[in-house]
Structure 1
Amino acid sequence: MAENKKTETKVYLKIHDFDCSIEEITALIGIEPSKAGQKGDLLPKRNIELHRKFSSWVLESGVDIHASVDEHVDALINTITPRIKILKNLIATYNGELTIVVYTHSEYNIGMYIDKVKLGILLDLGVSLDIDIYFLNDTES
C-alpha cells in the first residue's frame, strides 16, 4: 500500500461465541462465510501455538478495498437483508458485530457516514460496532 498510498477499507459482519458447528450457522443463514473458525482450531501465522478461544463466522462486504465505508456498509446490508430475521435470532443467542477497518496514509481526517435507515437496520439486528482506523506512515503497508 505504501506505493499508491490509497486508503483501504474492510467491513464485515461477524457472528461469534456459538457452540454449534460453522456448518450449522452457514446452513441457517444460507450464505457461505468469507472466513470462519471453530473454537479450538490452531491459529495460523503465529510464532507460538495458539488455539482459537471462540468460534466465529465472518461475512465480508465483497466490495473493493478502495471503496468508501458507505459503499461497504450498503453492500453488506443488501446481502443480509433477505436473511435479517435469522441473523437477528442468531445474534440474540450468540454475539454479533459489525466491524469497520480502515488503513490510511492520509494526513487528513477520515470520515464515514451511515444513514439513519441503515443504522436502524444495524441497531435492530443487535450487533455491536467495532471501528478501527490505522494511520500508516510511508514505511507501513
Structure 2
Amino acid sequence: MEAVNGSAARLLTMACSESTADQFGVYQDDGPAHELRDWAITRSFTGPRVDSVQVFKQPDGWKTYGSKLTGFEKGSTYVATVDGGVGGRAVSGKLTFGADQLLDLAVGEVLASYGDGDTVTMGRDDFLKAADDHCHERAS
C-alpha cells in the first residue's frame, strides 16, 4: 500500500507475468459493529490485468461490489486484501494498517505485510523486488 498525492492510496501486488490479481478490497477493521464499511472490486472476465489499483477508483473492465467505504479516517484501522493467482495456484494477501501509518509514509515508501502479518514500512523498490522474487518462487 502506498500513499498517492497525500490524500489517496494505491494497492500494489506482484507484478510478474505469472501472476494475476482478480480482486482488491479494503474494509474498516474498527468500524461500526452493525455495518461493514468496505470497498472492493473484482475483475470481469474481459477486464485487463493490473499490478496496482488506486483505492476507491474502479479500473476499466472491473466491477465494484463494495462501496460503503469512501475514505480513510484518521485514527482508524483498515485491512486491505488482494486475491488472485500465480502459475495456476490461488494466492491471497492481507495487510492491516492504520490511516495514520498511511499518512506518515514518505515518497517512495510503502506499507507491506511481513512474516506473520506484521505491517512494516519499506522502500517501494525493495517491495517490488521482493514481490517479484516471491512471485517467481510461487510460479515454479
Return the TM-score normalized by structure 2: 0.33
Name the larger-Rg structure: 1
Return the TM-score normalized by structure 1: 0.33
Judging by fraction of residues, say which structure has more helix: 1
